[in-house]
Amino acid sequence: MLDNAIKFTERGGITLSASQKQDNRLNITIADRGIGIPAEHLPNIFDRFYRVDESRTMPGAGLGLAIALEIAHAHSGWIDVERAVGNGTCFTIILPEN
């Protein structure tokens, strides 16, 4: 996810943060000010080999988000995504207390 944030943010910044919530969940957030993800692509971004059309010129196989989600699931967690086309994307990895 950090690699994607770097690839798709030409200007602006990338923020990486971690916080422990009251219910002892760990939230790791990666936010960028890049091109964003169009809404119609959101249901598919965690599918293996899926790439948003605009990203096809970038290197990569479309596996990164699928692998990240599998790792989160292996730790009983999940990933939330918020997007604003033209104004960035924010991924939050949520890992419960084990």
What does the block give as tokens for 78?
């999940």
Total domain count for the chain? 1
Please tell me the pTM assigned to this model: 0.80
What does the block give as tokens for 32?
């960028």
Query: Regarding predicted confidence, which is higher, 4 or 75?
Result: 75
Provide mean pLDDT across the span 57-84.
85
Residue written as token pair 């971004």: 45
Domain span at residue 57 reads 2-95
pLDDT at 93 over 90: yes
pLDDT at 88 over 90: no
7 touches 58 (CB < 8 A): yes
CATH assignment at residue 54: 3.30.565.10
H-helix segments, the chain: 2-7, 64-74
How many CB atoms lie under 10 A from the CB of residue 56?
A: 9
Tens digit of each residue's pLDDT (9 = 90 or more) over 9-65 = 877 789 999 999 878 899 999 998 877 788 888 888 888 877 776 555 666 667 788
